[in-house]
Chain A
């Protein structure tokens, strides 16, 4: 019955040519949701869900600033969210339409308020850290049994990298995360916006750059899982996905995700509604649906990322809530840092420095 009704609604919408009223368009990161949830949303609300994916904040930001994207819900990372709010890209949330907002976790809300004071424009979807993925067997083979895996020394010391180059190292192609990591490593403020301080990261990268096989933000998942590379600096959930893929394939590859003891960057992916969203009412329904404890737990159980939903924690699988690389313990949590968006002039310095590190020019 519901199905017939759904089909009918969709058909009427198509015929009328006015999709806006019963269609919600969501633009989220790739591999970032359990698709069963999308079907569930359509059945519960009778709305048609159009779900598209992207793979870089820059791409999303360009769409947001050009305007007229046609999306109702988008998912920028906190630093980008802050910049886009300043540019007037989002509308304030109507909290009365979001009863499930009481499920949100105050610890995370406190941190996301740094980007969105009062959490007026966005809700947290998932969050994670940027750390190191290690193929334990291969790294020990190359660097010796008693190598310390819990330190940035592993990838920032040229003598280690020289040896690791033989089994393959990937770094994220994300200057806003990789430069702070190097600054944090040498004891500078990772959130520094001072071009002179940021320039110090070059001294860390230029000796190791020749040993980095590739700067890329998604290829490392597969490359780690099938043993093509032995070390990747990447995002927590992605590396844990590589870990479970390797375990499923039973190929003898054992992957670990490490939050180094010197500290790691913590980031938050936020759901927000563009100022020119065609269906803001439907967008609010989607956000409320996502903030449901069971739905959020299903999403995290599927993608292995922590979420900002306190009520969902009771419903999370053991291998998610119990894994300290997904939900770090308090000590590790205290050791993480966050960053703020660069001003246009500093952003230029950062991009330029990153190009120089990667290409030598």
Chain B
């Protein structure tokens, strides 16, 4: 997904060809995959590699200006996408079409290499969509999707509201400070994510630092219950994901030509108008990238709601965990994951299309 956003889909033809080959490779990989079978992985790897090579070769032949080396460089992100996104997705998709079984791994059918091609045919024949139908029979699932969506949307909005002024301040700060400010934003990453969330538990708890300070300051007499509530989840998400919002917005604002603002003021804009008519539209790319970077991982967030949230915090990541670990229902868990992915990808692809169209119309 992120590759698509960054490369702005300039090489549509190459992309389409590669993705078609990738899907084929992934399907073969899915068919071959059973538990830990290194042989299958080797075959998949070489097939995928060969597919990518062929696609690049055809492309290099058709386009005289692109050297083969250039094509390889362009192809790298696609190879990455193939190996780390499409192949795992195909595996998850295959499991989501399987049935629960008391076995190792706990689902059926599994591919038996001894049967060769007939085994693949049998395997495909036994796959069905009943796990997806199952998701519609219990209101838990759509409620969890909806609740995750709401939490992710509110948290993204809060992160944007807090992150934008910080990024703006950083971009407008004297040049010699900017490296330091940038470092301060990145600094929290030097500590493990898990430790930072744990330390929030120490801060937000009833016996925690925050409540202690509030009581000492005489603002409250009883500790405020923050930990184990929805509020703590929002605080946790905004805190941990803030740098992902600040950095792209800062990058967009930092390269902005300040003479544009002078021109706007010369033409009679107030400073506020100049911000709204010039700065804000120019930082739109950064805002969109930042929102995606915060919203997408938050949708599937598991650690923050389970550590900071209470029993009432319903998120799809937790539901998925329970399917996988408590129910040992890998097929249903995979179905939940596939639906989550589709919910995220389809709107994003549509959004990107409309963006592209708007850009072309603008030209």
Identify the A interface with B (CB < 8 A).
56, 58-59, 61-62, 64-68, 83, 86-89, 175, 209, 212-215, 228, 344, 347-348, 351-352, 355, 358-361
Contact = CB atoms under 8 A, between A and B. Distances in A.
B347 interface: no
Given A228-B207, A352-B140, A62 B325 contact: yes
Given A62-B325, A344-B328, 12 more contacts: A61-B325, A62-B328, A65-B328, A66-B36, A66-B104, A67-B105, A83-B102, A344-B100, A347-B326, A358-B311, A361-B140, A361-B314
Nearest to A344: B100
12 contacts: A56-B325, A62-B324, A65-B105, A66-B35, A66-B105, A175-B326, A214-B228, A347-B327, A352-B138, A355-B319, A360-B312, A361-B139
Contacts of A347: 326-328
Contacts of B325: 56, 58-59, 61-62
Contact of B104 (A65, A209, A355): A65
Interface of B: 35-36, 100, 102-106, 138-140, 143, 207, 228, 310-314, 319, 322, 324-329
B327 A65 contact: no
Given A58-B325, A68-B36, A355-B140, A87 B311 contact: no
A347 B325 CA distance: 11
A352 B327 CA distance: 9
For the residues of B in contact with A, the DSSP-based class is loop
B327 A351 contact: yes
B314 to A, nearest CB: 5
Given A66-B35, A68-B36, A344 B327 contact: yes
A359 B313 CA distance: 7
A163 to B, nearest CB: 18
Given A358-B311, A361-B143, A67 B327 contact: no
Contacts of B326: 58, 175, 347, 351
Contacts of B35: 66-68
B322 A351 contact: yes
Contacts of A66: 35-36, 104-105
Contacts of A351: 322, 326-327
Contacts of B104: 64-67, 87-89
A130 to B, nearest CB: 18
A92 B13 CA distance: 57
A324 B101 CA distance: 42
B322 to A, nearest CB: 6
Contacts of B310: 214
Contacts of B322: 351, 355
Contacts of A355: 140, 319, 322
Contacts of B327: 344, 347-348, 351
Nearest to B205: A228
A88 B312 contact: no
Contacts of B228: 213-214
A56 B139 CA distance: 28
Contacts of A61: 325, 328
Contacts of B143: 361
The 4 closest A-B pairs by CB, nearest first: A58-B325, A358-B311, A68-B36, A351-B326
Given A87-B103, A89-B104, A361-B143, A344 B311 contact: no
A348 B312 CA distance: 20
Contact of B314 (A59, A175, A359): A359
A321 to B, nearest CB: 36
Nearest to B228: A214
Contacts of A62: 324-325, 328
Contacts of A359: 311-314
- The CB with the most chain A CB atoms within 10 A, among B106, B207, B324, is that of B106
Nearest to A168: B206
A242 B100 CA distance: 40
Contacts of B319: 355
A143 B326 CA distance: 36
A281 B103 CA distance: 25
A361 B140 CA distance: 7
Contacts of B324: 62
A209 B310 CA distance: 12
A356 to B, nearest CB: 8
A73 to B, nearest CB: 18
A87 B101 CA distance: 9
A267 B282 CA distance: 64
Contacts of B105: 65-67
Contacts of B207: 228
A87 B105 CA distance: 9
A87 B36 contact: no
A358 B325 CA distance: 17
A87 B140 contact: no
Nearest to B106: A65
A348 B329 contact: yes
A86 B207 CA distance: 47
Contact of A67 (B36, B313, B314): B36
Contacts of A214: 228, 310-311
A87 B102 CA distance: 5
A334 B23 CA distance: 61
A351 B313 CA distance: 16
- The CB with the most chain A CB atoms within 10 A, among B102, B138, B207, B310, is that of B102
B331 to A, nearest CB: 11
A221 to B, nearest CB: 16
A42 B106 CA distance: 35
Contacts of A358: 311
Nearest to B332: A348
Contacts of B329: 344, 348
Nearest to B143: A361
Nearest to B138: A352
A59 to B, nearest CB: 7
Contacts of B312: 359-360
A56 B325 CA distance: 10
A300 B329 CA distance: 36
Contacts of A215: 311
A67 B312 CA distance: 34
Contacts of B36: 66-68
Contacts of B313: 359
A349 to B, nearest CB: 10
A61 B207 CA distance: 36
Contacts of A65: 103-106, 328
A161 B208 CA distance: 25
Contacts of A228: 207
A142 to B, nearest CB: 17
